Structure 1
């Protein structure tokens, strides 16, 4: 793999991390604005909640797209590094995130498979724990939102828990992205022979 391709992957990883972080931070302000409108219906609160929701939706869409592009490219690189590894297909790598119920379990396994196939330096206990912590935070965030919407809409306690989980999930997926990107960069760096220099 060329140095340009490795650099492109690192730029993509950084972009995905930045978009995820931005979406998580904006989600805090969105949640506060929506709660404020729920408790005090005014024209200003409607405007703020609508504006923050739009900004969050755009950022989250960008984060999802960048993350899935990064994940698909990482899957391809993992397959190049370990052809016989159990690596998911490109379609399944992306499609599994959009299938109800399946998206509660399968994406975690996909990320683990890609990580394991990326390098012999994958540390099973530590790296698997990192992926598991991210997934628990992400799924718990979604479940708290569902419960809060049905039984405690406008609850500050639920809002704090949900947003804490959102921030935690954003930080953890940033670390997962970093880990897999670094492993692949090192693996390809070791696999690509250095061209001999000509003496003048």
Structure 2
């Protein structure tokens, strides 16, 4: 079923990308503040790192909401573009991110399924981009957990986790761009043009 009102979620994509950029910048400030507090603990450094960490949490919450709204909209478009394709259900598209252990693998599959279903021109390099983003994201999450348990004040681990976070942020921005652009191209092909009136 095609509809002339369907569009790729460009505005949602831009909002999510902007929020990702803001959260990434705040995470860099948070990492610097934490490092300063670890090296020179004081009440002032504790307050500063607490404030920056709070801002980061708020921005990450906003980023998560915008990304999931974009993903849900992209899923709907993908299902309409390819009704026969294996597209995750609306509930699973969102819920997979919040189930422990499952969230280490299922969200990647959701994004890949949505990307493939939403674009006949999906290529191997698109899949590689998703895989690189997911590897950076999971690597960051696992290393951050390990660092917090084993060596919470290690500057080397802090640098590596930040590098992975930055890489994941850049790559997910590119994933959003790629999926949105591919859907926009597919929608231009499939949306019927109204016949001119006599």
Q: Give the TM-score normalised by the residue count of structure 2.
A: 0.94
Structure scoring higher RCO (CA < 8 A, sep ≥ 6) equals: 2
Q: How many residues align?
A: 196
Query: Is 1:98 aligned with 2:98?
Result: yes
Q: What's the CA shift for 1:186? A: 1.0
Q: Hey, what's the Cα distance between the residues in 2 that align with 1:169 and 1:51? A: 24
Q: Match for residue 150 of structure 2?
A: 151
Q: Match for residue 20 of structure 2?
A: 20
Q: What's the CA shift for 1:180? A: 0.7
Q: What's the CA shift for 1:41? A: 2.1
User: Which shows bigger deviation, 80-89 or 142-151?
Assistant: 142-151
Query: Is 1:137 aligned with 2:106?
Result: no
Q: What's the CA shift for 1:6? A: 2.1
Q: What's the CA shift for 1:160? A: 1.0
Q: Match for residue 126 of structure 1?
A: 125
Q: Match for residue 37 of structure 1?
A: 37
Deviations along 1:145-183, one digit per CA (max 9) or x if unpaired, are: 112112222211111111111010011011111111011
Q: Hey, what's the Cα distance between the residues in 2 that align with 1:60 and 1:197? A: 48
Structure 2: runs of 5+ lacking an equivalent = none
Q: What's the CA shift for 1:195? A: 2.6
**Is the CA contact (8 Å cut-off) linking 2:4 and 2:192 kept in structure 1?**
no
Q: Match for residue 6 of structure 1?
A: 7
**Is the CA contact (8 Å cut-off) linking 2:33 and 2:49 kept in structure 1?**
yes
Structure 1: runs of 5+ lacking an equivalent = none
Q: Match for residue 71 of structure 1?
A: 71
Q: Match for residue 172 of structure 1?
A: 171
- C-alpha RMSD of matched pairs (Å): 1.4
Q: What's the CA shift for 1:43? A: 1.7
User: Which shows bigger deviation, 16-25 or 104-113?
Assistant: 16-25
**Is the CA contact (8 Å cut-off) linking 2:16 and 2:67 kept in structure 1?**
yes
Query: Is 1:59 aligned with 2:59?
Result: yes
Q: Hey, what's the Cα distance between the residues in 2 that align with 1:89 and 1:152? A: 40
Q: Hey, what's the Cα distance between the residues in 2 that align with 1:20 and 1:76? A: 22
Q: Hey, what's the Cα distance between the residues in 2 that align with 1:192 and 1:110? A: 25
